[in-house]
Homo-oligomer: A and B are copies of this chain.
Amino acid sequence: LNAEIICVGTELLLGQIVDTNSTKLSQYLASLGVNVFHKSTVGDNLQRIVESLRLAASRADLVIACGGLGPTQDDLTKEAISAAFDVPMVEDPESVEHIRSFFQRRRIPIAASNLKQALLFEGGNALRNDFGTAPGAVLEIDGRTIACLPGPPRELIPMVENQLLPYLRERHGLKRVLRSRVLRLAGMGESAAEERVKDLLGGSNPTVAPLLSGFEVTFRITGTGEDEGAVEAGILEAEKRLRQRLGKEIYGADDDTLESVVLGHLRDRGLSLVTAESCTGGLIAHRLTNVAGSSDTFLSSVVCYANAAKESLLGVRRVTLEGFGAVSWETAREMAEGAMRELGGDAAIAVTGIAGPGGGSDEKPVGLVYIATALPSALKVQEYHFAGTRLDVKQRTAQAALEQMRRAILHL
């Protein structure tokens, strides 16, 4: 079964709102094993909506239009479906009742235009709207299924979950399940990671696809079929093969974050963590404390932007700051050692660098960063060069620092 999604609304073409409806619908359709080959967005213009509907129906078995069911003159989706497929519209008594009672409950007088929303397709089915006045509709015509849904996500999503999906499952005998698993890497570039597993990519069921997501590389394994056990076994087998190649480069799966994994490794070993942050300015601590329950492992952090703070709070020696500079291998090391000593942690992450846009020099350009990771018996300091905006440099540094700590714990 192939589907096409059409989003209707001039506000989408003007960039006034971000479309999340089609994203959500795509997820639902994928989970049923329905392919989506095209999505399109069209404004509140009858002729263009009609053309988009006809094009979609020429290449898909299922066409889902979102938006344009409101009471105003701009809302034209149902009129367009009626015109595109030559289906008359008739008043749906249940929808009239629903709209009337909706306004009565809110003690708002009903406008004539609101009853326009009760017009549905002859021979079609209404989709009840539990969170608004506009019913959706579904229609079978010329071997195709055409559905229209209200634009507001809080109306659309429950309508899809509770009515459209069960209808599609029943009507088209859809028994397929779709399962996926995401493996996450933080220490390798996309090309390098792909190079290592090139022959395992693609595939048809399960599929394995790489994706750069934020500052991470992920591999998504997706399987589909009617036998849930077989689908899951296939995914597990693909995961095993990827893990054989990538080993400990994979830091986690699915909803794992690098920070939650690092905290987990430290917790397993009974080690507490402290951080000393210069150029990241608190971002590493912020990420660590986003993890629920982090307080049992993460103790404290010092954000020491000023040199004086590096001396007074972390005991970095003035001779080090003056001799090598605040952004140096030596300062990073003393920050990590000072953080363990002064803040009382078993493990420490320390970063110092130049986030920019100012503050760089030929010798020490913007993006130069030193990261120190300290464990009870291992200290490592590494130099990095990051590109991008100030925020990019902060984010790349935080990511690299957490990954360096993960590797230090696992002796990678």
In the assembled complex, A61 has its CB within 8 A of some CB on chain B: no
Tell whether, in the assembled complex, residue B18 and residue A131 are in contact, meaning their CB atoms are under 8 Å apart.
no
In the assembled complex, A111 has its CB within 8 A of some CB on chain B: yes
Stretch touching chain B among A88-96, A245-253, A303-311: A303-311
A152 to B23, CA, bound (A): 17
Tell whether, in the assembled complex, residue B309 and residue A343 are in contact, meaning their CB atoms are under 8 Å apart.
yes
Stretch touching chain B among A9-17, A226-234, A370-378, A402-410: A9-17
A372 to B11, CA, bound (A): 36
A11 to B283, CA, bound (A): 29
In the assembled complex, A364 has its CB within 8 A of some CB on chain B: no
A137 to B69, CA, bound (A): 39
Interface residues on A, range: 35 or more
In the assembled complex, A171 has its CB within 8 A of some CB on chain B: no
CB distance from A295 to the nearest CB of B (A): 5
Known A-B contacts A190-B71, A191-B114; A209 and B10 likewise in contact (beta carbons under 8 Å): yes
A11 to B298, CA, bound (A): 36
Known A-B contacts A74-B209, A295-B306, A394-B290; A37 and B43 likewise in contact (beta carbons under 8 Å): yes
In the assembled complex, A195 has its CB within 8 A of some CB on chain B: yes
A113 to B281, CA, bound (A): 36
Which residues of A pack against B, CB within 8 Å? 10-20, 22-30, 36-43, 45, 48, 52, 55, 70-74, 102, 105-109, 111, 113-114, 131, 152, 154, 189-192, 194-195, 201-202, 209-213, 220, 222, 275, 277, 279-286, 288-290, 292-295, 298-306, 308-309, 312-313, 342-344, 355-359, 385, 387-392, 394
A342 to B312, CA, bound (A): 9
Tell whether, in the assembled complex, residue B211 and residue A11 are in contact, meaning their CB atoms are under 8 Å apart.
yes
A202 to B74, CA, bound (A): 9
Tell whether, in the assembled complex, residue B306 and residue A289 are in contact, meaning their CB atoms are under 8 Å apart.
no
A281 CB contact (under 8 Å) in B37, B102, B290: B290
CB distance from A113 to the nearest CB of B (A): 6
Q: Which residues of chain B are near A10, meaning CB under 8 Å?
A: 209
A105 CB contact (under 8 Å) in B15, B23, B295, B385: B385
A48 to B37, CA, bound (A): 8
Q: Which residues of chain B are near A71, meaning CB under 8 Å?
A: 190-191
Q: Which residue of B lies closest to A301 (CB)?
A: B303
A122 to B296, CA, bound (A): 60
Tell whether, in the assembled complex, residue B394 and residue A289 are in contact, meaning their CB atoms are under 8 Å apart.
yes
A12 to B25, CA, bound (A): 11
CB distance from A366 to the nearest CB of B (A): 11
Q: Which residues of chain B are near A24, meaning CB under 8 Å?
A: 15
Q: Which residues of chain B are near A201, meaning CB under 8 Å?
A: 73
A308 CB contact (under 8 Å) in B29, B299, B356: B299
CB distance from A83 to the nearest CB of B (A): 18
